[in-house]
Structure 1
Amino acid sequence: MVIIRLARGGSKKRPFYSLVVTDSRNRRDGRFIERLGFYNPVSSSIENKLKVSLDRVEFWKNNGACLSPVVERLVSEYSKNINCA
């Protein structure tokens, strides 16, 4: 099954996550199909905190990919902020 989830990067105590499309059997930070954006929880500015390619997320959802609960929350938060601006 194809899933959209977070892959952790960054250093110790400074996490940085990439939103990736991957096979659910792959490791968290392992091989992925496509990178759809990033999430930087440490960043202070809103612009550098979250970036998501919504059109690619919709493409993968229409082709049967599932979103992890955290990614689902982040995508809905990002789409609300884009629509308000």
Structure 2
Amino acid sequence: KVHLQITASLLLKKYHGGHVVIRMALGGATNRPFYRIVAAYNKRSRDGKCIEQLGSYDPLPNIYNEKLVGFNYDRIKYWMGCGAHPTKPVAKLLGLKLLTLKIQMYFQITICFIGSW
């Protein structure tokens, strides 16, 4: 019985309430924003503690006039599979790539289905 109480108290300390969202955390310096794409509880502050960093986004163009975006798509798919909701800006950044991932998954399923005949 004592063991169950200790386990329950540890679980309560780790749970922070709310649900998990995929959002941007602001970093960088004055007039030089830089965003980290993170999985965090929705009740945490914007730049507060996160569960996991999933990518980064640099909104200012570099010398080649490119805005740099990097994601870990496997982890994003994992968190979305666990029920995490992306915020609107993150969904906009993910839009094209997730569409191609859905198309690739469709073709993989189709190929597996045809191969099982």
Greater relative CO, 1 or 2 (CA 8 Å, sep 6+) = 1
Instruction: Kindly report the root-mean-square deviation, in angstroms, between the aligned alpha carbons of the 2 structures.
Output: 1.9
Higher strand share: 1
TM-score of the aligned structures, taking structure 1 as reference length: 0.85
1:21 aligns with 2:39: yes
Specify the alignment match of 1:66 in structure 2: 85
- Kindly name which structure, 1 or 2, has the bigger radius of gyration based on alpha carbons: 2
Unaligned runs of at least 5 residues, structure 2:
1-18, 102-117
SS at match of 2:53: strand
Q: Counterpart of 1:53 in structure 2: which amino acid? A: N
Which 4+ runs in 1 deviate beyond 3 A? none
Unaligned runs of at least 5 residues, structure 1:
none
Report percent identity of matched pairs.
34
Q: Deviations over 1:23-64 (max 9, x none)?
A: 000000000000000000113244x61001111111000001
Alignment of 1:30-69 (within 5 A): 30-44=48-62, 45=64, 46=66, 49-69=68-88
Q: What is the number of equivalent residue pairs in this alignment?
A: 80
